[in-house]
């Protein structure tokens, strides 16, 4: 899912390298890109969420054996396709329903890049995964790093804390005043990673790290107090785990998403990678700093949303998706994102996130409120 995006394209590179059979593909509206993927990988089914784009794609690939589905329902059908693994690399809450659909249809492994799934419906998703006996393997590089560090210890291991690393983004060490005038082009220039537009903006606001704290709480079932964040400019250490004896394990490598994508697919085995080997002598130094929570309040807002619980993280995520969209459309300033996030957190009552209906209701209310303010 999300095959035409940054993660999706890299996942298909990995699939090609290792000869995985790609049985099904889905994306939002990029018909042209999906058509070339259909021709290259020959899946039995494919889907586009956008109905009009799907209609055009159906005509374009009429000479192939691939059946083209459409709409959110079509994407959910792709999630249920009889495959060993589902890789979910959709961006945003649009990935939540397909994840839940896959879990309830008996899928045994979900390689999850779509962090918004765990932020908006994390409790529900992890409970459903547990009930169905499915494993959710993280693709996000930080969570893959933690997952890999935890493999080194027995299941009843005494974790003191998880330390998520953050690059600090393009505006590391900038003051709040300077942030008032940063441009979209500056925001989209991430120092170490080449990613989709939404996550690149999230990295610049540090909201990405906040979302990752929530993701880690859900995936590893730890209280947020046991999840620390450290700025690590080089993005070589992808994250760490400190155990009760103060031994710290770190997972390292060149910043290349093909590594965590591949590990989520080949786990528990490892396989040769297209990613370049790490040469620490070329890197020279690794640097670490505390995050600046005053200038970049998004991470703490995520912590607050976790503390209040229920639908607060859902509303915060929805406001962020809308705010980032508006920033990408150059309708608001960079720092307006923070204001919209603060207001969304205040506006959302602390109701339980017990059903998918409640989650989507909170999501749409939070989105509407953001748009009413613009």
Q: How far is the CB of 42 from ligand NDP (least distance, A)?
A: 19
Of 66, 114, 203, 273, the residue at the interface with ligand NDP (CB under 6 A) is 114
State yes or no: residue 217 binds ligand NDP (CB under 6 A).
no
Rounded to whole angstroms, what are the CA distances from 71 to 34, 49, 51, 98?
15, 4, 6, 12
Q: At what angle do helices 96-104 and 71-79 cross, to 10 degrees?
A: 40
State yes or no: residue 216 binds ligand NDP (CB under 6 A).
no
Q: How far is the CB of 261 from ligand NDP (least distance, A)?
A: 9
State yes or no: residue 91 binds ligand NDP (CB under 6 A).
yes
Contact status, residue 3 vs residue 25, Cβ threshold 8 Å: yes
The interface region with ligand NDP, picked from 35-43, 110-118, 291-299, 317-325 by CB under 6 A, is: 110-118
Q: How far is the CB of 33 from ligand NDP (least distance, A)?
A: 6
CB atoms within 10 A of CB 230: 16
Q: How far is the CB of 156 from ligand NDP (least distance, A)?
A: 29
306-325 residues near ligand NDP, rule: CB under 6 A: none
Of 18, 29, 58, 333, the residue at the interface with ligand NDP (CB under 6 A) is 29
Q: How far is the CB of 219 from ligand NDP (least distance, A)?
A: 13
Smaller CB distance to ligand NDP: residue 69 or 134? 69
Smaller CB distance to ligand NDP: residue 192 or 339? 192
Q: Side by side, which strands form the sheet with 135-138? A: 85-88, 109-112, 135-138
Of 15, 24, 25, 27, the residue at the interface with ligand NDP (CB under 6 A) is 27
- Position of minimal CB gap to ligand NDP: 5
232-271 residues near ligand NDP, rule: CB under 6 A: 257
Concatenating the DSSP letter of every residue in 53-92 gives HHHHHHHHTTTSS-EEEEHHHHHHHHHTSS-SEEEE---S
129 closest CA partner among 222, 261, 218: 218
Of 11, 38, 86, 94, the residue at the interface with ligand NDP (CB under 6 A) is 94
The total number of residues shown for the chain amounts to: 374
Contact status, residue 41 vs residue 49, Cβ threshold 8 Å: no
Contact status, residue 205 vs residue 298, Cβ threshold 8 Å: yes
CA dihedral 157→308→101→54, nearest 10 degrees, is: -120
Q: How far is the CB of 47 from ligand NDP (least distance, A)?
A: 8
CB atoms within 10 A of CB 249: 17
Contact status, residue 9 vs residue 266, Cβ threshold 8 Å: no
Q: How far is the CB of 301 from ligand NDP (least distance, A)?
A: 17
State yes or no: residue 5 binds ligand NDP (CB under 6 A).
yes
Of 25, 68, 75, 241, the residue at the interface with ligand NDP (CB under 6 A) is 75
CA 88 to chain centre: 9
CA 303 to chain centre: 17
Of 89, 119, 134, 179, the residue at the interface with ligand NDP (CB under 6 A) is 89
The interface region with ligand NDP, picked from 107-115, 169-177, 265-273, 332-340 by CB under 6 A, is: 107-115
The interface region with ligand NDP, picked from 59-67, 113-121, 165-173, 350-358 by CB under 6 A, is: 113-121
Site string for ligand NDP, 174-213 (x = CB under 6 A): -------------------x-xx-xx--------------
User: Which residues of 227-269 form beta strands (DSSP E)?
Assistant: 227-231, 237-243, 248-252
Contact status, residue 97 vs residue 47, Cβ threshold 8 Å: no
The interface region with ligand NDP, picked from 112-120, 129-137, 280-288, 308-316 by CB under 6 A, is: 112-120
Smaller CB distance to ligand NDP: residue 196 or 346? 196
**Cα atoms found within 13 Å of the Cα of residue 241, Cβ hemisphere only:** 21
356 torsion bin: left (phi>0), alpha (psi -120 to 50), beta (else):
alpha
Rg from Cα positions in the chain: 20
What residue ranges bind ligand NDP (CB under 6 A)?
2-8, 26-30, 49, 75, 89-91, 94, 113-116, 140, 193, 195-196, 198-199, 257
């Amino acid at each position: 899912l999300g095959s035409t995006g940054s993660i999706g394209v890299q996942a298909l590179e990995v699939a090609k390298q290792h000869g995985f059979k790609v049985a099904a593909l889905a994306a939002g509206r990029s018909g042209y890109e999906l058509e070339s993927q259909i021709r290259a990988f020959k899946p039995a089914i494919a889907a586009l969420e956008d109905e009009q784009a799907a209609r055009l794609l159906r005509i374009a690939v009429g000479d192939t054996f691939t059946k083209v589905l459409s709409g959110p329902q079509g994407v959910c059908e792709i999630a249920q396709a009889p495959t060993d693994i589902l890789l979910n690399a959709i961006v945003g809450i649009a990935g939540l329903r397909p994840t839940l659909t896959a879990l309830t249809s008996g899928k045994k492994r979900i390689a999850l890049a779509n962090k918004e799934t765990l932020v908006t419906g994390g409790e529900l998703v992890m409970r459903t995964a547990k009930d169905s006996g499915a494993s959710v393997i993280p693709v996000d590089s930080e969570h893959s790093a933690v997952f890999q560090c935890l493999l080194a210890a027995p299941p009843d291991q005494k974790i003191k804390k998880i330390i998520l690393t953050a690059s600090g983004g393009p505006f590391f060490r900038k003051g709040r005043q300077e942030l008032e005038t940063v441009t979209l082009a500056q925001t989209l220039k991430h120092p170490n990673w080449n990613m989709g537009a939404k996550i690149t903006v999230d990295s610049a606001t540090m909201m990405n790290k906040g979302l990752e704290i929530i993701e880690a709480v859900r995936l590893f079932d730890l209280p947020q107090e046991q999840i620390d964040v450290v700025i690590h400019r080089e993005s070589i250490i992808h994250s760490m785990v400190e155990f009760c004896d103060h031994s710290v394990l770190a997972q390292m490598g060149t910043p290349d998403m093909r590594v965590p994508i591949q590990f989520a697919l080949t786990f528990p085995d490892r396989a040769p990678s297209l990613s370049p080997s790490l040469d620490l002598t070329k890197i020279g130094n690794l640097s670490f700093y505390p995050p600046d929570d005053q200038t970049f309040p998004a991470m703490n807002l995520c912590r607050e949303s976790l503390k209040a619980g229920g639908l607060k993280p859902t509303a915060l995520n929805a406001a962020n998706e809308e705010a980032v969209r508006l920033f990408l459309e150059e309708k608001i300033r960079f720092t307006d994102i923070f204001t919209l996030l603060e207001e969304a957190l205040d506006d959302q009552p602390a109701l339980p996130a017990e059903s998918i209906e409640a989650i989507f209701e909170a999501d749409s209310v939070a989105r509407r409120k953001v748009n009413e303010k613009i």
